[in-house]
A and B are shown apart, each in its own frame.
Chain A
Amino acid sequence: MLLHRHRAQHAVKGLLKRNIETCVFLKFWHTTQVTSKQVLSYVSRAARLNQFYVSEHAFESHNATFFDIKCGLTTATRAVYQPETDRWRIEGGCDDDGAALTVIVKFERNLIIVVTAF
């Protein structure tokens, strides 16, 4: 009984730590300490947990479904910052059919928002 409680507490602490790390990341990603690898890691993790939003424009103007976007984000291999638009280009991933998919995301108010996917 004591061992189970200890394991549960450990799991909750780990989960809290990861959530806090994500929140801190989303709040302070503008600073120079954030690397492309960190951005890719957080976006991939958020995609696996369905923790991202999609702009209405992206949803209506492209043939990629939510499932495709999720596949593209979880399999992406690169994150490139675009300073002119203050967005990140998540590339190298593929959709459910295996076709290459590039996703443009932006971070706002602790949210990851998919702006477009192509």
Chain B
Amino acid sequence: MNYVHTTKVGRFTVKDGGTTTRYKRSSDGSRILSPEQISSLERRAAIAVLREMELVSGTELKFARKALGLRQPELAEQLGVTVETVSRWENDSETFKRPVQLALLALLEHVEQGGSLRAPRQIRDEKDFIVRVAR
């Protein structure tokens, strides 16, 4: 049986009804989610928002980072930028370009498909974002 889960991603509410995973239930009958199930739901919600929106806000970017289980320094290392830059993006102090959103989307899709996050090579320019995303 498919259950519909609702996840709040910044300004958006994402409904995810595409899973047939089995759920454990607690003594009061309510469903309880395992870490893997929650992580997957959060990643899918972040993927949906990043894919649909042309440019997301800092709040949605922060949610996507947390859905990956990364701290700001770790995301900065993955994207080849400084920690301060990631912090400014998430606080909406600085706008970020579409390649950043695409890179984050690629990371989410990669992890959702069973991949792992490895130490990235140095990214020199925007083209590098797209090249790494395409792999």
Contact = CB atoms under 8 A, between A and B. Distances in A.
Given A67-B69, A68-B66, A108 B27 contact: yes
Given A53-B24, A54-B38, A65 B63 contact: yes
A27 B35 CA distance: 21
Interface stretch (A14-22, A37-45, A56-64, A74-82): A56-64
Interface residues of B, number: 22
Given A55-B26, A56-B30, A66 B63 contact: no
Contacts of B47: none
Contacts of B6: 60
A113 interface: yes
Contact of A113 (B32, B35, B42, B69): B32
Interface of A: 50-57, 59-60, 63, 65-68, 96, 106, 108, 111, 113
Given A65-B42, A66-B38, A96-B71, A56 B66 contact: no
B63 A56 contact: no
Contacts, number: 55
10 contacts: A57-B30, A59-B5, A59-B33, A60-B7, A66-B42, A67-B66, A68-B66, A96-B71, A108-B27, A111-B32
A65 B8 CA distance: 10
Interface in B69-93: 69, 71
A55 B66 contact: no
Contact of B5 (A56, A96, A108, A113): A56
A39 B32 CA distance: 21
A88 B31 CA distance: 19
Contact of A66 (B30, B32, B39): B39
B30 A53 contact: no
Contacts of A63: 8
A27 to B, nearest CB: 15
Contacts of A111: 24, 32
Contacts of B71: 96
Contacts of A68: 66
